[in-house]
Amino acid sequence: LQHHTSPCINTKTQYLQLVLVVVLLLSLEGDADLQFLLKGGELMKVKSSTWKKNRFFKLQEDCTTMWHESNKPFGKKQTFSIDDIDSVRKGRESEGLQKYTDAQEEDRCFSIIFKGRRKNLDLMATSAEDVQQWVSGLDKIITNTKKLNLFSSLHGKYSSWIFDEMRKADKNKDNMMDLKELKHFLRQINIQVDDSYAAVLFKECDTSNSGTLEGPEIKEFYDLLTHRQEIDVIYGKYSSTDGQMGAEDLLDFLHNEQCEQVTLEDAVKLIEKYEPDDSAKQQSHMTKDGFLMYLQQEEGSIFNPAHKEVFQDMSQPLNHYFVSSSHNTYLTGDQLKSLSSTEAYIKALMKSCRCVELDCWDGPNGEPVIYHGYTLTSKVLFKDVIKAIREYAFKTSEYPVILSLENHCTLDQQKLMAQHMRTILGSALLTAPLEDQMPTTFPSPKELKGRFIIKGQRLNKLDTVFGSSPGVEVESISEEDEAAEVNDAKIDSNGQKAKSELSDLVIYCKSVHFSGFENAKAKQAFYEMSSFKETKAANLAETAANAFIHHNMSKLSRIYPAGSRTDSSNYNPVPMWNTGCQIVALNFQTPSKEMDLNQGRFRPNGMSGYILKPDFLRQAGSAFDPVTLTDGPWLKRKVLHVMVISAQQLPKLNKEKTKSIVDPLVRVEIYGVPVDNASKETHHIDNNGFNPMWNKKFQFNLKVPDLAMVRFLVEDYDHTSHNDFIGQFSMPLTSLQNGYRHVPLLTKRGDVIPCAGLFVHIILLDP
């Protein structure tokens, strides 16, 4: 604390940063792990079998930055932010540590996993005790930093983002800003003004006429920049109690604008939660600052907070749900030469993916491997993938994970695959039906919590588990994605025994060839499922949608990308969902609009990876056809009114070019049944990514809202080429909240962009 209580604190931003550090230090007062990090220590950085070098690491006094020794050329960054860390993993969890360290060094190893595409930091400590302190200390700092970020947003509008930019602009570190530094600061926060306006703004704030901004002058300057006219208008309309918003006023706002069925008690609780002024809070008043804080938090989000938890019925049969599903899960890039990695499985599972794919081939030393066959993609051991899946399958969601096997292995290695799965997955591996007698339908996600389900080829009927259907049944599967699951030439008296060990693990997801809906209805058991290449599925969804829907009422269907997508691009999943297909597999490693929609589809229901299909996709006798709509319970006509009001703190796309300012526009897109698909956009605003304002109204007429997805896309306008992506947010229409709402923005890879967002007004009405 003595280190931080410097007399140089002369701006409110510095004061707030001090407060945050003090709060963190007090929350971990006397904590040995924090003291250990602040003191620092030597760790071995592991990059390869030959590159293992000792480096000194320590937590800096701001408690938000890690510093490390580096021999890189002068000027290279030697720090990274705690905010950039995704997780810390103890042991030889990363591929690098597994490959370049010995098994007996397990307790001395740990990895720092970063957000985005930044490479892992693989480290070795001198002892297991040191590893425990590094991992425990970092976990505490990460957890507390998240809490402090919330504290910062609730108890002061001087965000760390603004503070960082002010500090960068203060070139000579004198805690003052001259006109040149002011212009640099404006560029850094993504807003451009001409010289005359900058001079006027500077002069207005420089009340001391010193030629610099300092102390209260910087506060005034910041207030001018962050002033939000739209909030003034809304607040002014409802602040009828001594110039402030009383509890009754807030209740009127919640009823009239937000369309929320709440009580006066609920309004008082919001004031108690978000009002920073104690005197106002004691009178049950909400100031404009408190009102803005409320709007920027969960209650003011466009996404219904109730849907952040599991809220749907999870006791329906498994095939009544959409299942978040991945294709070529092992790949980190394209299908020709990219890396295969256990990390790719971890990232997919941590995003609540509940169906992962394993392309299995014979490997050296009798150990099966996973990779994209007949290509230059690297190989990863099958057993390492199973270990990673076991470790991370249920960290984000407790609901079942389907392992979709594309099996190209010879019988000996198939036998080893079965052994690895039984040994590593243990009792979590489903090896028999849950029932004591032959089932007639799927168990539910609730009944299958924490279990692994194998999808693949089974040599016989499931009845044999109960001794009622003897004999061997070998089928041919023609879909290219599963063509190698049956190898008729290798089925002999010895081979059957070997392969049966793998075959016996297939319970509820037996792969079979699709020979038409009538044939499937007459001959296919509920647990026998087919895979469809995207082109075949799209054709069926276009020409036989209702038959496809009824097929999926009793069975599972898996859709996968065409083999021609060598770049691992994705197809549109929406038409497949519209026909009730459950396992619509996408390339999770490829950022795309399709993955945005997938992330949006599975955002509700507690990010469980399971979404209950609408009634009309589950009920026998349904006449629903998304292509040719007729009257029925699915027709719930709605009119969606969207007003795109403003945006805040949009990121610069080219940070190297300080004069590069974005020209943002917003597009609102609807994806659902064909007649509901629509897209409308605002005009672009020149040179303002900090607080652009549009006040643009759109109207969408919807017929099947239960299947509609909404996507907000922000782009940087370019009149000579394609617009550049800035951020997006996708969600089901059914999870949308009415009223004045903030929309968070995500990167191409689905990570939240700090501080950035849209401000909109939403009304969803009957016609």
Query: Which residues participate in catalysis according to the annotation?
Result: 327, 372
Exposed, middle or buried: residue 271 (CB in 10 Å: 0-12, 13-18, 19+)? buried
C-alpha to C-alpha distance for 107 and 130, rounded to whole angstroms:
10
Query: Binding residue per annotation — 69?
Result: yes
Query: Binding residue per annotation — 519?
Result: no
Query: Binding residue per annotation — 42?
Result: no
Quickly count: other Cβ atoms within 10 Å of residue 168's Cβ: 12
C-alpha to C-alpha distance for 485 and 262, rounded to whole angstroms:
56
Query: Binding residue per annotation — 309?
Result: no
Query: Binding residue per annotation — 71?
Result: yes
Query: Binding residue per annotation — 718?
Result: yes
Cα-to-chain-centroid distance, residue 184 = 33
Query: Binding residue per annotation — 61?
Result: yes
Query: Binding residue per annotation — 663?
Result: yes
Query: Binding residue per annotation — 328?
Result: yes
At 420 the three-state DSSP class reads helix
Query: Binding residue per annotation — 6?
Result: no
Please state the φ and ψ torsions of residue 553, each to the nearest 5 degrees.
Answer: -75, -20
Quickly count: other Cβ atoms within 10 Å of residue 247's Cβ: 20
Query: Binding residue per annotation — 667?
Result: no
Query: Binding residue per annotation — 555?
Result: no
Exposed, middle or buried: residue 443 (CB in 10 Å: 0-12, 13-18, 19+)? buried
Question: 224 and 205 in contact (C-beta within 8 Å)?
Answer: yes
At 506 the three-state DSSP class reads strand
Query: Binding residue per annotation — 142?
Result: no
Query: Binding residue per annotation — 687?
Result: yes
Query: Binding residue per annotation — 661?
Result: yes
H helix runs in 170-287, sequence order: 179-188, 195-205, 216-226, 229-238, 247-256, 264-274, 278-282
Token duo for residue 424: 């590593």
C-alpha to C-alpha distance for 165 and 185, rounded to whole angstroms:
6
Query: Binding residue per annotation — 53?
Result: yes
Query: Binding residue per annotation — 313?
Result: no
Query: Binding residue per annotation — 357?
Result: yes
Query: Binding residue per annotation — 715?
Result: no
Please report the sign of the dihedral spanned by the C-alpha atoms of residue 598, residue 601, residue 604, residue 607.
negative
Pairing of strands 41-46, 121-124: antiparallel
C-alpha to C-alpha distance for 14 and 20, rounded to whole angstroms:
10
Query: Binding residue per annotation — 48?
Result: yes
Query: Binding residue per annotation — 172?
Result: no
Pairing of strands 65-68, 369-370: unpaired
At 632 the three-state DSSP class reads coil
Pairing of strands 709-716, 583-586: unpaired
Secondary structure of 346-410 in HEC code, one letter for each residue? HHHHHCCCCEEEEEEECCHHHCCEECCCCCCCCCEEHHHHHHHHHHHCCCCCCCCEEEEEEECCC
User: How far, CA to CA in Å, does 474 sit from each of 174, 471, 692?
Assistant: 79, 10, 64
Token duo for residue 389: 């899946």
What is the Cβ-side half-sphere exposure of residue 519, based on CA atoms within 13 angstroms?
8
Query: Binding residue per annotation — 210?
Result: no
Query: Binding residue per annotation — 369?
Result: no
Query: Binding residue per annotation — 72?
Result: yes
At 741 the three-state DSSP class reads strand
At 106 the three-state DSSP class reads helix
At 743 the three-state DSSP class reads strand
Q: What is the largest CA-CA distance in the chain?
A: 96
C-alpha to C-alpha distance for 716 and 726, rounded to whole angstroms:
6
Query: Binding residue per annotation — 52?
Result: yes
C-alpha to C-alpha distance for 122 and 582, rounded to whole angstroms:
38
At 153 the three-state DSSP class reads helix
Query: Binding residue per annotation — 565?
Result: no
Please state the φ and ψ torsions of residue 669, each to the nearest 5 degrees.
Answer: -120, 140
Query: Binding residue per annotation — 577?
Result: no
Quickly count: other Cβ atoms within 10 Å of residue 232's Cβ: 12
Query: Binding residue per annotation — 460?
Result: no
Pairing of strands 245-246, 121-124: unpaired
First vs last Cα of the chain: how many Å apart?
61
C-alpha to C-alpha distance for 581 and 253, rounded to whole angstroms:
42
The DSSP secondary-structure symbol of 628 reads S
Positions at the binding site: 45-72, 328, 357, 359, 406, 455, 531, 558, 661, 663, 687, 716-718
Positions at the binding site for Ca(2+): 328, 357, 359, 406, 661, 663, 687, 716-718
Positions at the binding site for substrate: 45-72, 455, 531, 558
